[in-house]
Amino acid sequence: MRYIISELLISKIENNNDKKNRVQSKLILVKELNEVLSIENAATLRIASRIDKTPIRGLKQVLRRHLKVTNIQKIRLRDIISQFGEKPTDKKTDLLSLFVTTNVNPTHSEINLSENSKIEEQKKDLKHSLPEDYEIIQLRQDFAINHGELRAYESLIENMQKIDIPNKQKNLSLLEKSMKEEELMVYWYKTHTPLILDNLWPKVIHSTVRRGQNFLLSHVGTKIPIIIIYADLVGSTKMSMTLPIDNLVSIVRIFDYHISNVVDTLGGYVLKYAGDAVISFFPSHIDNQNKYSASDTAIESGKLMIKSIQEEVNSFMHKIYKFPELSVKIGIDAGENAIVQFGYDQRSPIDILGYGMNVASKIMSITSPNKVSIGENIYKSLDPDLQNEFHELTIPNERWKYVNYGTKKPYKLYTSNT
């Protein structure tokens, strides 16, 4: 008798534990359902805003359909949550914080900002961007958010499959339908984004060059101290022989855009695009120690160019769209250069001529992929901590004939350690 009572008690305890586990599992599932619902709540607002602001007519039509689908997805989630006797949330997730990350190193001022403050600062920067530049950033965010929504549904379905709940198969079917809809939207972005970007980039690039020309216009016929940066796309000759022309053009435009964006962000100017290279410059002045101001900024620009190609372009265009993986090599030098306008009309092209231009071009040509190499003038102008990031290059005399006219010795070159 005592044995039977003991068995009954054990069975009751186990039943209670099972019941507690089911309740706990249900609460966890409801929490996840509400988390996904809060994502969809925010998504409806973002999609509506994108419909209103995007200049791309075809995208407007796609987003209108997606907005209808998203509202249906919200109804499905709210119905499932209500089945558990719980209240569907009206909260809206911060989609940019959840799904969108930036690969650019923070500035000193950004380090002290909270995450929300950083996002607000980024939003302010976007509002002052060119319309095409703004749209490119929004497209990338669209893709990241839709990809994140897809992953959220996958996780939700996987967790629902593990627990025993009423109407399980029916609810799973509804969630799988929502997941399939997100898959179709992600697929649309994958197949159409390169074409959209290909139409937007030339407009952005034209505006960037115009900025540089406008700066130089007030210096025509003079010599001014300038830091020159050559950024070269590695392997473009091979790509020109092996890739379809459409892919090659897209790659060059993608490369040009990202290099230009770094220069613009740090306050420099794009001079021109020369085949597979972007030539840019930073205005400078020479102090009483013959040091060029803005040298540190130019180095930061070179490093960010490499980082942008490696982490943004390759993660986006190589891993997703299967374009070739890109590399860049950077040559930087400083000197006094002549500003020359070819023609008498104000709209005639303006160029920079001088020793520094030639040296920067040659430095770039002997630099290894994903490295920054600099001339002696730049190296001597750097803070000691930045100098430690470089080591001197040893070059055979037949490959390097440039001279430091101050010392009459061979002009020294330095390249980045990593």
Q: Are 273 and 213 in contact (CB under 8 A)?
A: no
Which of 8-22, 40-54, 329-343, 356-370 is least confident? 8-22
Q: What is the mean predicted confidence (pLDDT) over 323-331?
A: 92
Helix (H) or strand (E) holding 354: none
Residues of the chain with CATH 1.20.1260.10: 2-197
What 3-state class would DSSP assign to 230?
strand
Residues of the chain with CATH 3.30.70.1230: 218-416
Q: In whole angstroms, what is the distance from residue 49 CA to residue 123 CA? A: 14
* pLDDT at position 2: 52
Helix (H) or strand (E) holding 337: strand 328-341
Tens-place pLDDT, residues 262-280: 998 899 999 999 988 999 9
Can you spell out the DSSP letters for 19-43?
Answer: HHHHHHHHHHHHHHHHHHHHHHHHH
**Please, what's the b/e burial string for 315-342 (b: 16 or more CB within 10 A of its CB; e: otherwise)?**
ebbeebeebbebbbbbbbbbbebebebe
Q: Distance of alpha carbon 256 from its chain centroid, rounded? A: 14
Ranges 48-62, 89-103, 117-131, most confident: 48-62
Residue count of the chain: 418
pLDDT at 31 over 90: yes
Q: In whole angstroms, what is the distance from residue 209 CA to residue 347 CA? A: 12
All residues at 6 or more sequence positions from 248 whose CB lies less than 8 Å from its CB, including other chains: 239, 240
What tokens does 65 get?
A: 């359909």
Q: Are 305 and 231 in contact (CB under 8 A)?
A: yes
CB atoms within 10 A of CB 292: 24
Does this model's pTM top 0.75? My answer is no
Between the alpha carbon of residue 266 and those of residues 177, 380, 400, the distances in Å are: 46, 21, 31
* Phi and psi at residue 56, to the nearest 5°: -90, 110
Strands 328-341 and 372-375, by their bridges, are parallel
> Could you write out the three-class secondary structure of 115-183?
HHHHHHHHHHHHHCCCHHHHHHHHHHHHHHHHHHHHHHHHHHHHHHHCCCCCCHHHHHHHHHHHHHHHH
Residues 218-416: name the CATH superfamily.
Answer: Nucleotide cyclase, GGDEF domain (3.30.70.1230)
* pLDDT at position 113: 40
> Interior CA angle at 255 toward 252 and 257, to 5°?
105
Topology annotation, domain 2-197 = Ferritin (1.20.1260)
* pLDDT at position 55: 84
From the list 398, 326, 323, 327, the residue with the least C-alpha distance to 364 is: 327
Helix (H) or strand (E) holding 203: helix 168-217
Q: In whole angstroms, what is the distance from residue 262 CA to residue 251 CA? A: 17
Q: Is 322 left (phi over 0), alpha (psi -120 to 50) or beta?
A: left
Tens-place pLDDT, residues 347-399: 789 999 999 999 999 999 999 999 999 999 999 999 999 999 999 998 887 78
244 exposed, middle or buried (CB, 10 Å; 0-12, 13-18, 19+)? exposed
Q: What is the mean predicted confidence (pLDDT) over 31-45?
A: 95
Name the DSSP class of 105: P
Q: Which residue has the higher pLDDT, 200 or 284?
A: 284
Between the alpha carbon of residue 227 and those of residues 145, 213, 402, the distances in Å are: 39, 16, 17
What 3-state class would DSSP assign to 338?
strand
Tens-place pLDDT, residues 74-85: 999 999 999 989
Name the band, by pLDDT with cuts 50, 70 and 90, for residue 118. Answer: very low
Which of 180-189, 195-204, 260-269, 409-418 is least confident? 195-204
All residues at 6 or more sequence positions from 295 whose CB lies less than 8 Å from its CB, including other chains: 227, 284, 334, 378, 381, 382
From the list 329, 378, 416, 350, the residue with the least C-alpha distance to 226 is: 378
* Phi and psi at residue 39, to the nearest 5°: -65, -45
Q: The tokens 């930073």 sit on which residue?
A: 282
Q: In whole angstroms, what is the distance from residue 290 CA to residue 286 CA? A: 5
Q: In whole angstroms, what is the distance from residue 10 CA to residue 381 CA? A: 80
